[in-house]
């Protein structure tokens, strides 16, 4: 199984960066997690990976913010009727627009969306968000959009189902860096305000995450 970072605030040579996040999961099915803001930039980075968006089976949007959902309209033009998983709390207008061009799936609680790939369902109250967690031999690999509910709350929720091996994505303004000491691999990016602190405190655990990164899990 491979994860490819398609959209982030920083980018490797040959890729383009912008504020937002998107990750491609290549497993039994191909899943796009978030779409960044600029759909054209997202498609450019897909092309740099040599990936054809017509191969996308499912799309998951972590939360209803422009830098995670903004590229959905553009990407749906390039796909073939994928399933799109959004929270029930998303705006009715956005859900109706998606339903016109894809198979809309509304998420509330935890569920399996593909073989070995699960959504937490809706977590948090002020800014509801869903994260993904993926089953691997080493434990769960967690994918977050911004982690508005709190990276600790997301991880604690997932730990009810098994051990967490790695966390990739936005950690937002999470400040309890000590909490992360038991996670073997940390790949914070996007909106992580304390990324430098995490990198310096856990040099043996930290693995860079930016647009153009590719992870075998």
- pLDDT (tens digit per residue) in 126-142: 999 999 999 999 999 99
Q: How far, in Å, CA of 137 to CA of 134, rounded?
A: 10
User: Going edge to edge, which strands form the sheet with 117-119?
Assistant: 111-114, 117-119, 132-136, 139-144, 164-170, 185-189
Q: How far, in Å, CA of 96 to CA of 114, rounded?
A: 24
pLDDT at 117: 98
Q: Residue 99 contacts by C-beta under 8 Å, 6 or more apart in sequence?
A: none
pLDDT at 9: 97
Over residues 133-172, the pLDDT tens digits come to 999 999 999 999 999 999 999 999 999 999 999 999 999 9
Mean pLDDT, all residues of the chain: 97
CATH 3.90.1170.50 correct for 2-216: no
Domain edges within the chain: 2-216
For residues 49-58, average pLDDT:
98
- Alpha-carbon distances, residue 29 vs 55, 85, 96, 113, 197 (angstroms): 9, 14, 25, 10, 35
């Amino acid at each position: 199984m491979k994860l490819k970072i398609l959209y982030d605030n920083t980018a490797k040579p040959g890729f383009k960066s912008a504020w937002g996040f998107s990750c491609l999961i290549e497993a039994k099915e191909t899943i796009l997690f978030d779409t960044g803001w600029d759909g054209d930039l997202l498609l450019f980075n897909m092309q740099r990976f040599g990936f054809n968006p017509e191969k996308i089976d499912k799309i998951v949007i972590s939360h209803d913010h422009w830098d995670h959902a903004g590229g959905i309209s553009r990407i749906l033009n390039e796909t073939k009727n994928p399933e799109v998983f959004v929270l029930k709390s998303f705006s009715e207008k956005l859900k109706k627009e998606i339903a016109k061009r894809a198979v809309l799936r509304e998420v509330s609680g935890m569920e399996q969306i593909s073989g070995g790939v699960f959504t937490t369902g809706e977590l948090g109250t002020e800014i509801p968000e869903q994260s993904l967690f993926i089953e691997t031999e080493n434990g769960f690999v967690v994918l977050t959009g911004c982690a508005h509910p709190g990276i600790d709350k997301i991880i604690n929720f997932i730990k009810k189902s098994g051990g967490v091996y790695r966390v990739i994505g936005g950690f937002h303004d999470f400040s309890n860096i000590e909490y992360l000491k038991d996670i073997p691999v940390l790949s914070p990016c996007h909106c992580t305000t304390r990324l430098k602190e995490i990198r310096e405190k856990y040099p043996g655990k930290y693995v860079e995450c930016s647009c153009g990164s590719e992870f075998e899990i």
